[in-house]
Chains A and B, each alone.
Chain A
């Protein structure tokens, strides 16, 4: 017996999210296909965040942007994730209008495409539980461990970059999983990230010197990657990211 619930505060939402078998619905684009074919027992509750006013808000302060968990990927506030390339590489236009930045990065069901840009932006995820209130953790930890069962993600804070470049290898240019990727961002608190299959790893590096940048990416990649061909690809992608971060031309 799955019921729809509509909390109007974070506190209520966290309480619902903490009940056994509850599933939180932000944009719903990752969750609904799973709900339609799931093989486990049905959820007890679908917790809709639509009526929590703070969920839709976003805020700029001190060189950072904070996005509430209902801020969609196509929102201008989320543009920091995409650089001058724009969001066209992310899913489809229809999905961009509904999928949320926070939902994308916490959902265990999907490919978490925004993990790499958010790592490069030094992002931190905000969550809360019914019992112990709000917490904040680096997105790197969330990408590794997920958010604990029963917890609720309320927002994400990322540093505003001067520039961001994401070079990716995927089957099709659009709508294909990133198999290898390097994302670099220039600005206070920014860094880089490398994607190798399902692994998304932060790389703490300045983006000033190309050889240092590429070496740092390569070193991090080698913690999960052995194949010399793919390592060569990652290295080249890193070189391109550095190049594009330092050229004046449009991407």
Chain B
């Protein structure tokens, strides 16, 4: 049986030889994730790996047999995406998918604990994501705002929710 991963609900085969990364596997299967540095500094290639934000360039393909991968396509929190558009937090957009993966995850966790992220926490969460365009401020504002809205919307959200 060939080893596989589940990417956004679709089964993708893993190569059994070579030294490729999770990012390489996704790219070779037509799943386009931004690649900014290949060394884990910029976070552009971030995906959810077993529900945890992870730079896919740092993960050997042999480490993820049977894992569940969610990209921004299936894990983005709509309230965050909307808030980022409103606040001008997307300029070139290259860092955005990775940022959205991490911050959507964080907002869901916070909401599940009935609390809101504050600006300092969001800045800490953004360590590991580089943005060259925005200076981060609008991303922080958008995230706090989206978290507040999610809490206020009452249903609390689901900490592990992704559209699968």
Direct contact of A and B (CB under 8 A): yes
* A residues in contact (CB < 8 Å) with B: 1-4, 6, 25, 28-29, 31-33, 35-38, 42-43, 46, 48, 50, 88, 91-95, 97-98, 174-175
Name the A residues within 8 Å of B125 (CB-CB): 93
Q: How many residues of B contact A (CB 8 A)?
A: 29
Name the B residues within 8 Å of A46 (CB-CB): 19, 60, 62
Q: What is the minimal beta-carbon distance from B110 to any residue of chain A, in angstroms?
A: 14
A95–B58 touching, CB < 8 Å: yes
Which of B46-54, B72-80, B136-144, B149-157 forms part of the interface with chain A? B46-54
* B residues in contact (CB < 8 Å) with A: 16-21, 24, 38-41, 43, 46, 52-55, 57-63, 102, 124-125, 127-128
Q: What is the minimal beta-carbon distance from A245 to any residue of chain B, in angstroms?
A: 26
Alpha-carbon separation in the docked complex, A95 to B53 (Å)? 10
Task: Count A-B contacts at CB 8 Å.
Answer: 89
B38–A50 touching, CB < 8 Å: no
Choose among B38, B53, B63, B102 the residue that contacts A36 (Cβ–Cβ < 8 A): B38
Q: Which of B39, B57, B127 has the most CB of A within 10 A?
A: B127
Name the B residues within 8 Å of A6 (CB-CB): 62
Report the nearest A residue to B128, measured CB to CB. A92
Choose among B20, B39, B46 the residue that contacts A33 (Cβ–Cβ < 8 A): B39
Alpha-carbon separation in the docked complex, A245 to B43 (Å)? 35
Choose among B38, B40, B46 the residue that contacts A29 (Cβ–Cβ < 8 A): B40
Q: Which of B54, B58, B59, B125 has the most CB of A within 10 A?
A: B58
Name the A residues within 8 Å of B40 (CB-CB): 29, 33, 91-92, 94-95
